[in-house]
Amino acid sequence: MRYLVRVFTRKVFRVLPFILGLIFALVVVLQNGAILATSTEILWDTYGVPHIFGKDTQSAFQAFGWAQMQSHGNLVLRLYGQARGRAAQYWGEKYLESDRWVLTMGVPDRARSWYKLQSPAFRNYLDAFAAGINAYAQEHGKLIDDEVKVVLPVKAEDVLAHLHRVLHFTFVVDPETIGGIKQQESKAGSNGWAIAPKRSASGKAMLLANPHLPWSDLFLWYEAQITAPGFDAYGAALVGIPVLAIAFNNNLGWTHTVNTHDGWDAYKLNLADNGYRFDGKVLPFETTTLSLKVKQKDGTLKTEPLIVKHSVHGTVISQTGNQAVALRVVGLDRPYVLEEWWDMARAKNLSQFEAALKRLQLPMFTVIYADKYGHIMHLFNGQVPIRKKGDFQYWQSIIPGNTSETLWTKIHPYQDLPRIVDPKSGWLQNANDPPWTTTFPTAIKADKYPRYMAPRFMDFRAQRSARMLFEDEKITFDEMVGYKHSTRMELADRILDDLIPAARENGSELAKDAANVLANWDKKANANSKGAVLFATWVQQIDLHKVFSIPWSENKPRTTPDGLANPQEAVAKLKAAAAQVQKTYGKLDVAWGEVFKLDYNGINLPANGAPDPLGIFRSVWFSPQSNGSFKSVGGDSFVAAVEFSQPVRAMVLNSYGNASQPGSPHIGDQLQMFANQKLRPAWHKRSDILAHLEERQAF
Q: What are the tens digits of pLDDT across the range 520-547?
A: 999 999 999 999 999 999 999 999 999 9
Q: Are residues 458 and 478 in the same domain?
A: yes
Average pLDDT over residues 68-77: 98
Q: What is the mean pLDDT of residues 93-120?
A: 97
Instruction: Indicate whether 599 belongs to any domain.
Output: yes
Whether 37 maps to a domain, the answer reads: no
Residue 319 CA to residue 276 CA, distance in Å, equals: 12
CATH number for the domain harbouring residue 578? 1.10.1400.10
Going by C-beta distance under 8 Å and a sequence separation of 6 or more, which residues neighbour residue 90?
A: 81, 147, 148, 150, 151, 295
- Please provide the distance, in angstroms rounded to a whole number, between the alpha carbons at the two ends of the chain: 53
Residues 236 and 361 in one domain: yes
Domain boundary pick from 484, 500, 524:
484
pLDDT reported for residue 181: 53
In-domain check, residue 4? yes
DSSP state of 316: E
Check whether residue 356 and residue 452 sit in a common domain.
yes
Distance from C-alpha of 202 to C-alpha of 195, rounded to nearest angstrom: 11
Task: Answer for the pair 261, 193: CB distance below 8 angstroms, yes or no.
Answer: no
Residues 220 and 349 placed together within one structural domain of the fold: yes
Q: What is the mean pLDDT of residues 379-393?
A: 97
Residues 421-471 have pLDDT tens digits of 999 999 999 999 999 999 999 999 999 999 999 999 999 999 999 999 999
CA 542/CA 587 separation, integer angstroms: 21
Residue 284 identity (one-letter amino acid): P
Asked if 418 and 527 sit in the same domain, the reply is no
pLDDT at position 185: 53
- Contact (Cβ atoms closer than 8 angstroms) between residue 595 and residue 580: no
Here the CATH number for the domain that contains residue 352 is: 3.60.20.10
What gap in Å lies between CA 540 and CA 577, rounded to an integer? 9
Residues 383 and 466 in one domain: yes
Same domain flag for 344 and 445: yes
Q: Is 56 helix (H, G, I), strand (E, B) or coil?
A: coil
What pLDDT score was predicted for residue 176? 81
Same domain, 521 and 596: yes
Question: What integer is the mean pLDDT of 316-331?
Answer: 96
Query: Do residue 468 and residue 498 come from a single domain?
Result: no
Q: Is the pLDDT of residue 596 over 60?
A: yes
> Which residues lie across from 696 on neighbouring strands?
43
Which candidate, 679, 677, 680, places its Cα nearest to that of 527?
Answer: 677
* From 25-34, 546-555, 608-617, the region with the lowest mean pLDDT: 25-34
Cα torsion angle, 246, 47, 171, 66, sign: positive
According to DSSP, residue 169 is labeled I
240: containing domain: 191-261+336-396+405-484
The 10s digit of each residue's pLDDT in 342-370 is 999 999 999 999 999 999 999 999 999 99
Residue 268 domain flag? no
Residue 441 lies in a domain: yes
Question: Whole-angstrom Cα distance, residue 50 to residue 367?
Answer: 25
Q: What is the pTM assigned to this prediction?
A: 0.93
Report angle CA 371, 643, 680 to the nearest 5 degrees.
135
The confidence band for 2, taking pLDDT boundaries of 50, 70 and 90, is: very low
* pLDDT at residue 179, as a whole number: 54
Q: Is residue 460 in some structural domain?
A: yes
Nearest CA to 493 among 469, 525, 470?
A: 525
Q: Do 519 and 592 lie in a common domain?
A: yes
Same domain flag for 422 and 495: no
Are 476 and 360 found together in one domain? yes
Residues 77, 240 contacting (CB under 8 angstroms): no
Q: What mean pLDDT comes out for the span 365-377?
A: 98
Q: Is residue 171 included in any domain, yes or no?
A: no
Please count the structural domains in the chain. Answer: 3
At residue 228, does pLDDT exceed 60?
yes
Q: Are 432 and 442 in contact (CB under 8 A)?
A: no
User: In the chain, pLDDT over 90 holds for what percent of residues?
Assistant: 92
Indicate the residue among 418, 449, 484 that finishes a domain: 484
Specify if 495 maps to a domain: yes
Q: Is the dihedral of CA 434, 435, 440, 446 positive or negative?
A: negative
Lowest mean pLDDT among 4-13, 140-149, 183-192, 603-612: 4-13
Gyration radius from the chain CA atoms: 28
Q: Which of 616, 631, 652 is the last residue of a domain?
A: 616
Tell me the per-residue pLDDT of 5-44, one tens digit each, with 9 for 90 and over.
Answer: 343 344 444 444 444 443 333 333 333 333 333 699 999 9
Q: Measured between alpha carbons, how far is 634 from 672 in angstroms, rounded to an integer?
A: 16
Residue 514 has pLDDT above 70, yes or no: yes
